[in-house]
Amino acid sequence: MAKGNEIRGVDSGWWMQLLLWREKHIKEKSFVLILALIVGISSGFAALLLKFLISVIATFLKSNITTDTGNLVYIVYPIAGILISSLYVRYIVRDNISHGVTRVLYAISQKKSRLKVHNMYTSLLASSVTIGFGGSVGAEGPIVFTGGAIGSNLGSVFRMSPRVLMLLVGCGASAGIAGIFKAPIAGMLFTIEVLMLDLTSVSVMPLMIASITGATVAYVCTGYNVEFFFSQSEPFFTSRIPYVIILGAVCGFVSLYFTKVMNSMENFFRALRNPWVKFAFGSIILSSLIFLFPPLYGEGYDSINKLLDGNFAAILNGSIFYSYHSNVWFICFFLAMIIGTKALATSATNGGGGVGGTFAPSLYVGCLTGFLFALLINTMGLSDGPLSTKNFALMGMAGVMAGVMHAPLMAIFLTAEMTGGYQLFLPLLIVSMISYGTIKLFLPYSIYTMRLAQRGELLTHGKDKTVLTLLKMDSVIEKDFLEVHPDMNLKEMVDVISKSKRNLFPVTDNEGILIGVVLLDDIRNIMFRPDLYRKMYVSKFMAAAPARIELGQTMDQVMKMFDDTNAWNLPVVEKGKYVGFVSKSKIFNSYRQVLKHYTDD
């Protein structure tokens, strides 16, 4: 039954008996494999349902759109989609379900991998309306959120540990990506590179099972065909490698631009407190951009298929600029404008109240970037022979995705799996790695992890930072230090020392404000001199604390303070008031316990 933020098993009766039977007869490692299979099947069907809903809504609404003129429906449909989605989220869901991948990362980092029950379907419904009505976002973020919630709640039903819940969340995300793109390898790599779960002997098999199962469900239900049709009619020659290298750098800078614009626009919408004002700004920006550049409508997969087929003139279909479809230079300008405004359209969709991800937009921008790069080179005659615009469009998809998501391996395999373009594996490798290396020079975090990193809530690959992130300040604060006051004499200080098990004493005023500390070693030479008992006061021999930890700081920041001061104990204060002390020994002990709990194979 549903209760709170998770599904809880019945505490007595047949369910308890089932749980006890499972614990007695099925080992945890084997049971995790069974759960991974169930999560894979469920997430695969969820991906199919999401694609079906988007297709039905979009097909119905686009039935009256013509290809040779501008269409005013491009103004109406996206606004209606954002309005319906925002009302659904605000009055029915009543919870934040935007930025699905970031929400999953937050759950892993800060909530012991526990996602709410409604997350298994609410983001799926909201995103299908947003995208179906023309919102310029992708469905992959919501399906990651949905799959992760399926894994989290299924694990909660069977009372699995946080370590296993984290793995099941990854399994759900892998299966969702694998199911929506028919890309099992990319699904697993998404969990490793984007969600940043370490690949161990325990985690590799469940992730593989979930990813393969999710993709199998998609293949069985929709046929053995790839997401985007790509036929390599033009071979790739090694003489084109210099152009591939340049494209990689271009994709890196495009990724940097895309990420920066998305982050700036999110900050802009976050500053708007009134939801109706957000809706107004988002609607105006989105509908205006889509009316001027119809390829921004929806996920943009139709445009990707056109470019991969080499039919670049069709990019002007439905535009008020359709009469220029035979002008190559105008088409180049048109493509450049779409690349420049896609981030604005995506952030306006989400900022205005819609629900969707940045996965598909990065693929879309990459495809246009690669195509435009080759088209410009050919038009200006800068190569000894024409570059294949189709091949470079495919490379651009991998390049921009690798840069935006900081996931080069996933970008390579995802592009190859969903297009069948395995023959271009070498240039895909080159573009992805160079793009990733380029953006890493400027941004250490991906578009997903940046939001959490700015708040110090990010769970990363490195086990040291991972465990520090999982540690909570409340769990390491020690409060058995006896307080003294500046007007106490040495005799009173000695009396306090006789009652204490510590060699450190916080000095506070009448309002509890920390004003200093007394170290036992600093007064050892005078504490046994009765002649000074009435003459010496705490205010004379107390010292300033080497540093003060503010309640609420991250453990990463706390450890940096210990490194900077070389102290063994540091006081914790809240708005100046003394709370307790944090010691290195306490942190190290908690560190070992958490490390053992989360990485026990």
Query: In the chain, where are the structural domains located?
Result: 2-222, 238-460, 465-599
pLDDT at 471: 62
Cα separation, 204 vs 197, whole angstroms:
10
What pLDDT band is residue 8 in, cutting at 50, 70 and 90? very low
In this predicted model, what pLDDT tens digit does every residue of 481-495 receive, in sequence order? 999 999 999 899 999
Question: Given CA atoms 336, 338, 344, 350 in this order, what sign does their dihedral have?
Answer: negative
- Of the chain, the end-to-end C-alpha distance in Å amounts to 31
**How does DSSP assign 475-529, residue by residue?**
GTEE--PPPB-TT-BHHHHHHHHHH-S-SEEEEE-TT-BEEEEEEHHHHTTTTT-
Tokens (6 digits) for 365: 């921008």
Task: Identify the helix (H) or strand (E) that includes residue 28.
Answer: helix 28-61
pLDDT at 464: 54
What does DSSP assign to residue 214?
H
- The second-level CATH assignment, the architecture, of 465-599 is Roll (3.10)
pLDDT at 223: 87
Percent of the chain with pLDDT over 90: 47
In this predicted model, what pLDDT tens digit does every residue of 144-183 receive, in sequence order? 999 999 999 999 988 888 888 989 999 999 999 999 999 9
What's the mean pLDDT when you consider all of the chain? 86
pLDDT at 459: 53
Cα separation, 312 vs 406, whole angstroms:
29
Q: 238-460: same fold as 2-222?
A: yes
What's the 3-state SS for 167-191?
HHHHHHHHHHHHHHHCCHHHHHHHH
| Of the candidates 216, 215, 214, 167, the residue with the CA atom closest to the CA atom of residue 195 | 167
Cα separation, 286 vs 296, whole angstroms:
9
Cα separation, 37 vs 48, whole angstroms:
17
Residue 600 predicted with pLDDT over 60: no
Q: Are residues 102 and 110 in contact, defined by beta-carbon separation less than 8 angstroms?
A: no
| Phi, psi (deg, nearest 5) at residue 572 | -110, 130
pLDDT at 21: 82
Residue 595 predicted with pLDDT over 60: no
For range 349-374, the mean pLDDT: 93
In this predicted model, what pLDDT tens digit does every residue of 569-585 receive, in sequence order? 899 999 889 999 988 87
pLDDT at 381: 87
Q: Which amino acid is at 180?
A: I
For range 432-440, the mean pLDDT: 96
Top-confidence range, 3-12, 425-434, 547-556: 425-434
In this predicted model, what pLDDT tens digit does every residue of 100-153 receive, in sequence order? 888 888 888 777 788 999 999 999 999 999 999 989 999 888 999 999 999 999
Residue 244 predicted with pLDDT over 90: yes
What pLDDT band is residue 56 in, cutting at 50, 70 and 90? very high
Superfamily of the domain at 238-460: Clc chloride channel (1.10.3080.10)
Query: Alpha carbon of 342 to those of 73, 286, 290, 358, 373: distances in Å?
Result: 19, 10, 10, 10, 17
Residue 550 predicted with pLDDT over 80: yes
> What is the CB neighbour count within 10 angstroms for residue 162?
17
pLDDT at 468: 58
| Phi, psi (deg, nearest 5) at residue 484 | -125, 170
pLDDT at 307: 86
Query: Alpha carbon of 40 to those of 34, 47, 227, 527, 588: distances in Å?
Result: 10, 10, 19, 69, 38
For range 492-520, the mean pLDDT: 91
> What is the CB neighbour count within 10 angstroms for residue 544?
10
Cα separation, 253 vs 441, whole angstroms:
10
Residue 67 predicted with pLDDT over 60: no
For range 557-571, the mean pLDDT: 85
Task: List the CATH code of the domain at 2-222.
Answer: 1.10.3080.10
pLDDT at 162: 82
| Of the candidates 75, 47, 73, 69, the residue with the CA atom closest to the CA atom of residue 60 | 73
Q: Are residues 192 and 236 in contact, defined by beta-carbon separation less than 8 angstroms?
A: no
For range 273-282, the mean pLDDT: 93
pLDDT at 313: 74
Cα separation, 226 vs 182, whole angstroms:
7
pTM, two decimal places: 0.78
Cα separation, 351 vs 253, whole angstroms:
24
For range 60-81, the mean pLDDT: 73
On the CB side of 264, CA atoms within 13 Å amount to 9
pLDDT at 593: 63
For range 415-432, the mean pLDDT: 89
